[in-house]
Chains A and B, each alone.
Chain A
Amino acid sequence: MSAGAPAVLAQGLTKRFKAFTAVDHLDLRIKKGEIIGFIGPNGAGKSTTIRMLCGLLHPSEGRAWVAGFDVDRQPEAVREHIGYMSQKFSLYGDLTVRENLLFFGGIYRVPRRDFNERMRFAVSMAGLEGRENALVRTLAGGWKQRLALGCAILHRPPILFLDEPTSGVEPEARRRFWDLIHELAAEQVTILVSTHYMDEAEYCNRIALIDRGKLIASGTPGELRARRLRGELFEISCTPLGAAVKVLTGTPGVVEAAIFGDKLHVVLGEGGISATDLPGYFGEHGIQAGPAHRVTPSLEDIFVQLVSGRRERRTLP
């Protein structure tokens, strides 16, 4: 891998499962030392993409290079240079913490002189000091995830693929996990991490928004926020939320309306209804509503707009 070469490069990467296209001509370029977040709803094709990049699935079309090796033609060379954490926890539950580390250390041929030190590092990173002899299936979610990360980086891979590493893990453990990811990135490890938690997207250097197998946007969180919203974003409390979305659909001036937690997020464009008119407009339709506040768009707002924009376009003749 030469100095300027990208850590990961994908060109027209496509995966079809019979009639279903899981990944649709995806282009991707990841620089060394970057943390790139794959964001998208379930079934968007994030896992399938990661599996192709790890050489676990054969691409139906297109090519990809990881650490300079072709994922379809040199999968073993790719595997020497990557660490992978699959979506489902997949260490051996019937082995102890130490036995799992020993196994992966052996499989990755970690030099014997480094092994003890790396094992200590992995154990302390996972916060499992003193529990080296516990069967892994007895550990709670957060510890399991950190141990899986520890096993995936035992051989010091330059590139890490983490597929929804924090799903099903409590928020405190998720925070700790992201701290670890940043520590690794500081050591020039390239990290591709997928998540469906929008708040985690903010922790990434760059984001790739994926929907229905296509890359629909990519950039730093700031860039995405700045360029993607076609109007101004307002937040408004109202009940019932579902009816409120229905009322706004098709109303002139409304670019986008979506439920955001227990509130409604409305993007208003030029002309048409204004923010001050909204509560009254809702009242006319029998919906209770408070005043509308202007808010800074979150990545989730951007994402919702991008995804719904695509779907509307698709339904037009």
Chain B
Amino acid sequence: MNVRRLFAMAYKETLQIWRDPRSLAIALLMPLMQLVLLGYGVSLDIRHVPLCVYDQENSQQSRAVVKSFVSSDWFSISRTIHNQTGIDYALNRDQCIAALVIPADFSRRLAATGTAPVQAVFDATDVNTTNIALGYAQGVVAQTNAQIADGWAATHGILPSLVGQVDLDPSTWFNETLDSKNFIIPGVVAVILALVGAELTSLTISREWERGTMEQLISTPVTATEVMLGKLIPYFAIGFIDAGFCLVSAVYWFGVPFRGNIGTLLITTGLFIVVVMGIGYLISVRIRSQLGASQIALVLTMLPTTLLSGYTFPIDQMPAPIRAITFVVYSRYYVTILRSVFLKGSGLSDLWAPLLGLSIYALIIIWLAARAFHKALD
């Protein structure tokens, strides 16, 4: 390996990236776009579920129940309805996801027995949302129950503490606010880096074939290793710039708490960039058209990273065969590392298992990449 040739190669590649609108867009615009799309578009939290209310009684007590739904922030009233068919209509027209029905004898039964049923109807076409909304509704009702029970006990001369109540006092660690954003955004960083890294390098060798410059290049004494390293150095720098942008945005824009150590973050991120860029480079060596190479890079990064890295779908919940497959999905290691570094403040020694996975991956990719490119036309 010769430093002069390596430098010539890296300098030339930098100039080409700088003058290629496609590479520039991938390097600079894509991270921003993805961050906005994925950062805002993907959220597992549900707020302001549209709720229709059919209050048949309209008493002070029934209104108190409705109010407890609204003040929870989980629901917001999209319509008030005055007959039974109105519920069908509203659900059919997607005017609400849930409908709350309070019977006409609500406060009379409450006064007599201390309990009174209310009905909630859910549009269950989206099972996930329905389940979450149902959970919220139960939460709201439980809270209301407690208040009413206290009130009922008081009016019947019983001390409130004697009315049997069991409270669960949950304690959540690492993501205290149970904000799904804190869980999603580190994953988004992994998705962006995987996509951008592999897309960029997938163009590098195929560009030389496509433009016919490869034949001249391989007629020179430059070695295959010099070509590989010379080409990857500028992309590695771009990868770090993009990583910095994403990580800073995660903390200062999306407000994800960062409890770890910058050094740990840089080392693991560098390792991940090596892996994704190596994969892009391998694709580029095999596929001689830029479009083809970038399509394959898209499929090989975006799909496994979004589906199998645990970024949105928890790996624990996957069927065993699929779970086995996730071990070859390089991003699963990085997603785990990022979440732990961000939320738990884990250091390198805590992360030995995913770090080992990622390191083995990087070694294999480097080994394959170094052997992939041959200076020959056949």
Q: Which residue of A lies closest to B218 (CB)?
A: A56
Note all chain A residues with C-beta closer than 8 A to B214: 90
Q: Which residue of A lies closest to B213 (CB)?
A: A90
Complex CA–CA separation, A51 to B222 (angstroms) = 17
Note all chain B residues with C-beta closer than 8 A to A93: 211
Q: Are B376 and A57 in contact (CB under 8 A)?
A: yes
Q: Are A92 and B378 in contact (CB under 8 A)?
A: no
Which one of A73-81, A116-124, A302-310 is at the B interface? A73-81
Q: Are B215 and A75 in contact (CB under 8 A)?
A: no
A173 contacts the other chain (CB 8 A): no
Q: Which residue of B lies closest to A99 (CB)?
A: B15
Q: Are B213 and A91 in contact (CB under 8 A)?
A: yes
Q: Are B8 and A86 in contact (CB under 8 A)?
A: no
Note all chain A residues with C-beta closer than 8 A to B375: 55-56, 75
A31 contacts the other chain (CB 8 A): no
Complex CA–CA separation, A180 to B314 (angstroms) = 69
Q: Mark A89-105, 1 if CB is under 8 A from B, else 0.
A: 11111110001001111
Q: Which residue of A lies closest to B6 (CB)?
A: A106
Q: How far apart are A148's CB and chain B's nearest CB, in angstroms?
A: 8
Note all chain A residues with C-beta closer than 8 A to B218: 56
| Contact among A88, A99, A107 for B212, CB-based, below 8 A | A88
Q: Mark B1-37, 1 if CB is under 8 A from A, else 0.
A: 0101101110110011001100000000000000000
Note all chain A residues with C-beta closer than 8 A to B4: 106, 109
B119 contacts the other chain (CB 8 A): no
Q: Which residue of B lies closest to A87 (CB)?
A: B215
A-B contact count (CB 8 A): 86
Complex CA–CA separation, A56 to B376 (angstroms) = 5
Q: Are A107 and B8 in contact (CB under 8 A)?
A: yes
Q: Are B216 and A94 in contact (CB under 8 A)?
A: no
| Contact among B11, B213, B221, B376 for A108, CB-based, below 8 A | B221
Complex CA–CA separation, A88 to B215 (angstroms) = 9
Within 8 A of B (CB), among A105-159: 105-109, 148, 151
Q: How far apart are B288's CB and chain A's nearest CB, in angstroms?
A: 14
Within 8 A of B (CB), among A25-79: 51, 54-58, 75-76, 79
Note all chain A residues with C-beta closer than 8 A to B377: 51, 56-57
Q: Are A86 and B15 in contact (CB under 8 A)?
A: no
Complex CA–CA separation, A273 to B377 (angstroms) = 52
B144 contacts the other chain (CB 8 A): no
Complex CA–CA separation, A3 to B69 (angstroms) = 99
Q: How far apart are A193's CB and chain B's nearest CB, in angstroms?
A: 15
Q: How far apart are A183's CB and chain B's nearest CB, in angstroms?
A: 22
Q: Which residue of B lies closest to A56 (CB)?
A: B377
**A103-B8 in contact given A57-B376, A84-B216, A108-B220 (Cβ < 8 Å):** yes
Complex CA–CA separation, A46 to B16 (angstroms) = 32
Complex CA–CA separation, A79 to B376 (angstroms) = 12
Complex CA–CA separation, A88 to B213 (angstroms) = 9
Q: How far apart are B19's CB and chain A's nearest CB, in angstroms?
A: 5
Q: Are A91 and B221 in contact (CB under 8 A)?
A: no
Q: How far apart are B158's CB and chain A's nearest CB, in angstroms?
A: 85
A82 contacts the other chain (CB 8 A): yes
Q: How many residues of A contact B (CB 8 A)?
A: 34
Complex CA–CA separation, A55 to B213 (angstroms) = 16
Q: Are A103 and B216 in contact (CB under 8 A)?
A: no
Note all chain B residues with C-beta closer than 8 A to A55: 219, 375-376
Q: How far apart are B225's CB and chain A's nearest CB, in angstroms?
A: 12
Q: How far apart are B233's CB and chain A's nearest CB, in angstroms?
A: 14
- Tell which of A55, A57, A88, A106 has the most Cβ of chain B within 10 Å: A106
Note all chain B residues with C-beta closer than 8 A to A75: 375
Note all chain A residues with C-beta closer than 8 A to B9: 106-107
Complex CA–CA separation, A99 to B19 (angstroms) = 13
Q: How far apart are B101's CB and chain A's nearest CB, in angstroms?
A: 68
| Contact among A57, A85, A88, A104 for B220, CB-based, below 8 A | A104
Note all chain A residues with C-beta closer than 8 A to B213: 90-92
Note all chain A residues with C-beta closer than 8 A to B249: none
Note all chain B residues with C-beta closer than 8 A to A90: 211-216
Q: Are B16 and A94 in contact (CB under 8 A)?
A: yes
Q: Are A79 and B12 in contact (CB under 8 A)?
A: no
Q: How far apart are A106's CB and chain B's nearest CB, in angstroms?
A: 3
Q: How far apart are B21's CB and chain A's nearest CB, in angstroms?
A: 11
Note all chain B residues with C-beta closer than 8 A to A58: 376, 378
Q: Are B215 and A95 in contact (CB under 8 A)?
A: no
Complex CA–CA separation, A93 to B214 (angstroms) = 13
Complex CA–CA separation, A95 to B15 (angstroms) = 7
B264 contacts the other chain (CB 8 A): no
Q: Mark B347-378, 1 if CB is under 8 A from A, else 0.
A: 00000000000000000000000000001111
Q: Which residue of B lies closest to A90 (CB)?
A: B216
Q: Are B222 and A107 in contact (CB under 8 A)?
A: yes
Note all chain A residues with C-beta closer than 8 A to B212: 86, 88-90
Complex CA–CA separation, A104 to B9 (angstroms) = 9
Q: Are B16 and A95 in contact (CB under 8 A)?
A: yes
Within 8 A of B (CB), among A155-190: none
Note all chain A residues with C-beta closer than 8 A to B8: 102-103, 105-107
Note all chain B residues with C-beta closer than 8 A to A84: 216, 219
Q: Are B2 and A109 in contact (CB under 8 A)?
A: yes
Complex CA–CA separation, A219 to B367 (angstroms) = 50
B145 contacts the other chain (CB 8 A): no
Q: Are B376 and A103 in contact (CB under 8 A)?
A: no
**A56-B11 in contact given A108-B221, A109-B2, A109-B5 (Cβ < 8 Å):** no
Q: Are A95 and B12 in contact (CB under 8 A)?
A: yes
Q: Are B216 and A57 in contact (CB under 8 A)?
A: no
- Tell which of A58, A91, A103 has the most Cβ of chain B within 10 Å: A103
Q: Which residue of B lies closest to A163 (CB)?
A: B215
Note all chain B residues with C-beta closer than 8 A to A56: 215, 218-219, 375-377
Note all chain B residues with C-beta closer than 8 A to A76: 221, 223
- 5 nearest A-B pairs in the assembled complex, by CB-CB distance: A106-B8, A84-B219, A90-B216, A86-B215, A79-B221
Given A99-B12, A106-B5, A148-B216, output 6 extra A-B contacts at Cβ < 8 Å: A57-B378, A86-B215, A86-B219, A89-B212, A92-B213, A93-B211
A-B contact pairs, 10 of them (CB 8 A): A17-B378, A51-B377, A56-B375, A86-B212, A92-B16, A94-B19, A99-B12, A103-B8, A106-B9, A107-B5
Interface residues of A (CB under 8 A from B): 17, 51, 54-58, 75-76, 79-80, 82, 84-86, 88-95, 99, 102-109, 148, 151
